[in-house]
Amino acid sequence: MTTLFTCEVIRIMPFGLLVKLEDGRKAIIRERELAWTAEERRNWQQTYRPGVKVQAVMLGERNGESLELSVRLAQDDPWLTVGDWLSPGQLVEGIVTAVQPYGVFVELRPGVAGLLHQSNLPTWCKRPIEDVFWIGDAVKAVVQHVDIGQRRIALTMRDIRAVRWSDDDARLNDRMRDELRSGIPVTSKRGVRLPLQLAGLPRPCVVLIVDNDDKHRECWVRWLRSAGQHADGAASAEEALARLASGAAFDLVIMDVHLPGISGLEALARMLDVAPQMHGVLTSGDWGCLTGKANPALEQLLARGVKILPKPFEAEDLLDVLLASQTSELTRPAAAHEWQAPAAAYAEPQRLLAQAVLRAQRLTRASLAVLFKLDREARKVEIELPRDDERLAIQTAANLIHSPVRDVAEDREFCVIENVEAAAARVRYLLPLLHFQACLGVPVPVDATTRYALFFFYDRPTVFDEARREQARAGALAVGAALDRREMVARIVTLQRDMLLGQLNRGLVHEMNNRIPAAKEALKSLERQLGEVERALAIAPASAQDSLRCAQGMLAHALESVASLSRMNELFRRFATQSSVHAVRVEHEAQEAVQMLRDEADRAGVDVQVEMPERMVIARANPVHLQHVLLNVMLNAVQQIALLRSRKEHREGHVGRVRVRIEERQRRAGPVVIVSVEDDGPGIHLRDRQRIFDLGFTTRSDGGSGLGLYVARHLMEAMHGRIYVAESAMLWGTRIVVELPGGV
């Protein structure tokens, strides 16, 4: 039975409580040991005040001196209720917290983990266990054995295919699923864990650990790297300062207080002076030096937001610090003058271009910046951006070909007009567009046949010194880069569509090879049968009816073969053409995409089906682009399943599956259409879930192009929709969702 100790809080420390036991010994209770969830710990400094008595469980004693207690274990031991929600044969879901050569540990609930032994993996999984499972990955498995007394849970995936597409998954314990998806950190007993919140962070954290203990420093550097972060170590404060001075940038610095030479306190203060946006953490095995009492240097650092992490710390403590540094960065309000970059690298190119024009306007302090486009063949100047500014009289743009805009765009000349009154004749075709007193026109360097000019307009006469002109050139360079990127994305979309057509055309060729000989044979048989009809009519007209019916059947067979070829050819022809956004039947487009993919899926041994909705589902989309997106997602699933499972299984009929489900939902902003593409492939590692949509990123061992899902995301953004990984579990499969505006 666990022994409970009554203790009194004697001091609130930055990292927890300093308490005194009844026998006079002192101990600490770390913040994480006060409660199981972050929500419960939110106001712990107000809940626990000096003089408050609490009951706790002894965790351990270091060198006979330092005691550590736990309040959460005294209040609620999660293993005491395991029998209430867990039983053998149950399908469970959890998070990988550690990977060992013999298996992986899977956190099912905070404080409760099971072992998925290597011998209990599916027989068709031949990949090394460290490649299949990474820390933080989601896992679905079946409970094989539960031993509450020994605190052991055995998990298995040997027959996971038998439950993969059953309704058992829908009957998962609701509370458990809510916990796993709510973002509550999932912990492990003396093990490494990653909370689910890390899956949604925009990028890994760049961490520097400064500690003169080589073993301790390298241990945590390796662990952080295994958790998907960019980590490095420094053995002294001088080395850390030198790295910062050389241009290195860090999101988080974990600094030991006691270092040879410059102290950790002084070094961290210097680093924060240079990089105030950086997050700092102080760590030490001496609790006394971390209290802040009678230590002005420490008090100043704490006032600047520096956190405290007493040694020895565990993975849970380090991840809490990591999460705090990232989430505070995400919620930090931007200054009014701060340029806001797009939230992700795959943002719509047109939006990037608009932001580049706006940034150039701010850089040059202009009232308005306008990007013009010159069509040299049609001898026409158009306004590229902005298109909805009410200050612009768009209807007067027809005469811009006679204005300085043409000179800048075509002749690559600068246009400098510091006072409109002195150059009224020169700008007579530009003045009707908008009211201005001065303007500066700069050619935009682009790698394209179309020419562009960027004009900056001012409400008052302005002298354009060399600094202002350089700012205009810099703005034009940024706009040119955004234009080049837009052109590159358009080329990538076309290239990837052509590659996809080339790959799927094998299906068309296969269909032709099957249908053409059959049609030829049917026509030959029909020719012979018509000869029989002719003879029957000459000899015995009454018996000619049977021969005629037979000939009609042969004709129908030949016509069906020709019609099948025609339908397949039409599918590919339509996919290769351009279209526009309008109301489309989503189930119809999905079925056509599956039909084009059929041959590829059959050769991979994968069954692809569309589950028809109960009623027609309408979305606003470009039908060709929607099919392009669905083909990319489904083809990616088919290829991943084929790589995971052997050819022998395909020959034996052990196929994989891809299911497409379509539904309509009501949101506050209006109806949306949800298309879910679910497979039973290898799953996607937690760290790769956002990266799979990056240009050039691929998880295929045979070296995929990395274009398909990047193009899919771009096309969805262009249709005001989105595409994302809704869920994924290793060796279970993935569900990718395509979301479109609904209605007509």
CA distances from 83 to 78, 146, 458 (A): 10, 9, 74
pLDDT surpasses 80 at 701 = no
Question: Two tokens at 477?
Answer: 């360079």
Write the burial class of residue 375 (CB in 10 Å: 0-12 exposed, 13-18 middle, 19+ buried): middle
Give the model's confidence band at 331: pLDDT under 50 very low, under 70 low, under 90 confident, else very high. very low
- What CA–CA distances, in Å, run from 573 to 247, 483, 498? 54, 30, 12
- pLDDT for 677 equals 97
**With respect to CATH, is domain 4-75 assigned 1.10.4080.10?**
no
> 242 vs 700, which has greater pLDDT?
242
Single-letter code of the amino acid located at 193: R
Cis, bond preceding 128 (omega within 30 deg of 0): no
Residues 349 and 483: their CA atoms lie apart, in Å, by: 8
- CA–CA dist 153, 163 (Å, integer): 20
356-363 average pLDDT score = 92
Q: Is the pLDDT of residue 343 over 60?
A: no
pLDDT of 737 reads: 95
Cβ neighbour number for residue 332 with a 10 Å cutoff: 9
508-551 per-position pLDDT tens digit? 555 566 666 766 776 777 777 777 777 777 777 777 777 777 77
pLDDT at 61: 62
Higher per-residue confidence, 216 vs 118: 118
Cβ(205)–Cβ(249) below 8 Å: no
Structure tokens at 533: 């009809």
The domain limits of the chain are 4-75, 78-192, 201-329, 349-482, 491-575, 582-741
For the residues 427-444, what does the mean pLDDT come to?
A: 95
Residue 742: band (very low, low, confident or very high) from pLDDT cuts 50, 70, 90: confident
Q: What is the mean pLDDT of residues 83-106?
A: 93
- Residue 178, pLDDT score: 39
Q: Quick one: average pLDDT of 365-375?
A: 94
Closest CA to 675 of 720, 641, 732, 627: 627
Task: Answer yes or no: are the C-beta atoms of 442 and 476 closer than 8 Å.
Answer: yes
Strands 307-310 and 368-375: unpaired
**Range in 153-157, 404-408, 452-456, 667-671 with the lowest mean pLDDT:** 667-671
Q: Name the band, by pLDDT with cuts 50, 70 and 90, for residue 503.
A: low
Instruction: Give residue 699's identity as a one-letter amino acid code.
Output: T
Q: What is the 3-state secondary structure (H, E, C) of 102-142?
A: CEEEEEEECCEEEEEEHHHCCCCCCCCHHHHCCCCCEEEEE
Q: Residue 280 phi/psi, 5° resolution?
A: -120, 145
Mean pLDDT over residues 30-59, rounded? 86
- Does the pLDDT of residue 121 top 80, yes or no? yes
Q: What pLDDT is attached to residue 654?
A: 60
User: From the CB of residue 569, how many other CB atoms can be counted at a distance below 10 Å?
Assistant: 13
Query: What span, in angstroms and rounded, lies between the C-alpha atoms of 71 and 91?
Result: 32
For residue 427, give the DSSP letter: T
In the predicted model, what is the mean pLDDT of residues 31-48? 83
Q: Can you identify the CATH homologous superfamily of domain 349-482? A: GAF domain (3.30.450.40)
Q: What is the average per-residue pLDDT within 653-678?
A: 88
Beta bridge partners of 370: 455
CA–CA separation, 718 vs 668, rounded Å?
A: 21
What value does the mean pLDDT take over residues 199-227?
78
How far apart, in Å, are the Cα atoms of 349 and each of 354, 371, 710? 9, 15, 13
pLDDT at residue 170, rounded to an integer: 46
The sign of the dihedral angle between the CA atoms of 552, 557, 562, 568 is positive
Q: What is the rounded average pLDDT of the residues 61-81?
A: 77
pLDDT for residue 7 is more than 80: yes
CATH number of 582-741: 3.30.565.10
Q: End-to-end distance of the chain based on CA atoms, in angstroms?
A: 66
Q: What strands, in cross-sheet order, belong to the sheet with 656-667?
A: 606-611, 656-667, 670-679, 733-741, 722-729
User: With 90 as the cut, is the pLDDT of residue 334 above it?
Assistant: no
Structure tokens that stand for 736 in this block: 């990718």
Taking the C-alpha atoms of residue 507 and residue 502, their distance in angstroms, rounded to an integer, is 10
Mode of pairing for the β-strands spanning 103-109 and 279-284: unpaired
Asked whether residue 320 carries a pLDDT value surpassing 90, the answer given is no
Predicted local confidence at residue 344, as pLDDT: 34
Domains 78-192 and 349-482 share a fold: no
Tens of pLDDT, residue by residue over 174-202, are: 433 433 333 333 333 333 334 433 433 44
Judge: domain 201-329, CATH 3.40.50.920: no
CB-side exposure of 725: number of CA atoms within 13 Å? 22
pLDDT of 463: 93
The 3-state secondary structure of 210-225 reads: ECCCHHHHHHHHHHHH
* Confidence band for 340, pLDDT divided at 50, 70 and 90: very low
Residue that has been written with the tokens 């209720």 in this structure: 81
Alpha carbons 520 and 523: distance in angstroms, whole number: 5
The per-residue pLDDT for 580 is 76
Q: Which CATH superfamily is domain 78-192 in?
A: Nucleic acid-binding proteins (2.40.50.140)
pLDDT at res. 705: 63
What would you measure as the largest C-alpha separation in the chain, in angstroms?
Answer: 124
Is residue 680 within 8 Å of 161, Cβ to Cβ? yes
Query: How much is the mean pLDDT over the chain?
Result: 81
Sign of CA dihedral 461, 463, 469, 475: negative
Q: Which of 27-36, 620-629, 640-649 has the lowest mean pLDDT?
A: 640-649
pLDDT in tens, 126-144: 889 999 999 989 999 999 9
What is the pLDDT at residue 307?
A: 86
